[in-house]
Amino acid sequence: MDRIAIDDLFDRRLTFPDPAAKRRLDRLVGIDEATARLIKLLAVLVNPEGLKAWAHKHHPGASSLIDLVERRPPLVVLAGDVGTGKTELAETVGDAVARQEGIEVTLFPLSLATRGSGRVGEMTKLLSAAFDEAVKASQRMKRSNGKAGGGVILLVDEADALTQSRDAAQMHHEDRAGVNAFIRGVDRLAEQRLPAAVILCTNRLGSIDPAVQRRAAEIFEFVRPNEAQRRAVLEPALEEAKFSKHQIDRLVELTGPTKSRDYGFTYSDLTQRLLPTLVLDAYPDGPLTYERALKVLTSVSATPPFRGTSGGTQ
């Protein structure tokens, strides 16, 4: 196989802090607890010296406790239904880590092309090359004093395309080899204690290989917004448009599960489809109205849940 160019491995590379990423992260609602936990976890992985400074201040001598935290694998899994915010969080959380730790963080989003064309050994070589790049970038950021000069996040979206369970009867031997290459890559980052982390995003947690799941420092599961979370999305925007509390209550209700469907709107349904469609429906002739909003709702349907054969809807 010819030498692999870095642009063939990653969709793009993003460096944080970045104002645009911060705005995207700030717009995420309803997943504050998961976001806060993920920021802390990634911060410890890419800058372990920050944890040591905290321990020196609050728990001097607690070396065994700190060592247990530091030895957690540099892998995090974000799992859940489509449109629940996991990919948006994965693509922007590096900004919060960079700002909190005062370091530069680079995101390497793995291209789905890394799956290869199916030729023997191709996917394994592509995955190995991707981890090679992540290792080289993070090695440059490692400092002898322990404080990282920066950190690396390797993002694998739609991870079940690369890390499907090797127990699946229909799995091709090349796919199994690719999973093995992925596991070796994670282990390599862990063994070298590099300022790097891997984030996997998947709609089907049950399809991810058990050995990959076992290596995860934490698995975050995301669900569709409940009534309070839908309100947190809709209320600020609709109040600006002078909708009454009663009208907002009704729209919050209608975007949840109904008699005709057992699922509600996703975050992306609300923020990328419903609210923009309300604006465009009124533009340029008049203001947004509740009556038109009800009619628009009949044309903007909630995204059906992802129902897979392996693991079901998460």
- CATH number (domain holding residue 28): 3.40.50.300
**pLDDT at residue 72 is higher than 70:** yes
**pLDDT at residue 220 is higher than 50:** yes
Average pLDDT over residues 204-222: 92
The residues near 212 (Cβ < 8 Å, ≥ 6 apart) are: 75, 77, 163, 179, 182, 183, 186, 200
48 upstream amide cis, omega within 30 of 0? no
Give the pLDDT of residue 215: 93
Same-domain pairing of 233 and 99: no
Same-domain pairing of 55 and 12: yes
Confidence class for position 263, pLDDT limits 50, 70, 90: very high
Of 222, 239, 269, the last residue of a domain is: 222
pTM to 2 decimals?
A: 0.84
Same-domain pairing of 177 and 32: yes
d(CA 239, CA 236): 5
Query: What CA dihedral angle connects 252, 254, 257 and 259, to 10 degrees?
Result: 150
More confident residue, 76 or 117: 76
Same-domain pairing of 199 and 256: no
d(CA 100, CA 106): 15
Same-domain pairing of 143 and 232: no
Say if 308 falls within a structural domain.
no
Give the DSSP per-residue string, 63-75. Answer: HHHHHHHHTS-SE
Of 201, 222, 243, the last residue of a domain is: 222
Same-domain pairing of 209 and 241: no
Same-domain pairing of 14 and 161: yes
Give the pLDDT of residue 288: 96
The residues near 29 (Cβ < 8 Å, ≥ 6 apart) are: 229, 232, 233, 267
Token pair of 61 as six digits: 């001598």
Same-domain pairing of 63 and 174: yes
Rounded to whole angstroms, what are the CA distances from 310 to 204, 208, 313?
7, 9, 9
The residues near 193 (Cβ < 8 Å, ≥ 6 apart) are: 48, 70
109 upstream amide cis, omega within 30 of 0? no
Say if 195 falls within a structural domain.
yes
Confidence class for position 170, pLDDT limits 50, 70, 90: low
Provide the residue type at 304 as one letter: P
Give the pLDDT of residue 47: 87
Q: How many domains, the chain?
A: 2
d(CA 230, CA 140): 43
Give the pLDDT of residue 309: 41
Which structural domain, as residue segments, surrounds residue 105?
A: 6-222
Same-domain pairing of 137 and 69: yes
The mean predicted confidence, pLDDT, of the chain is 87
Same-domain pairing of 14 and 102: yes
Of 222, 245, 276, the last residue of a domain is: 222
Please tell me which of 14-23, 117-126, 139-148, 176-185 the model is most confident about, judged by mean pLDDT. Answer: 14-23
Same-domain pairing of 38 and 86: yes
d(CA 123, CA 254): 45
Confidence class for position 148, pLDDT limits 50, 70, 90: low
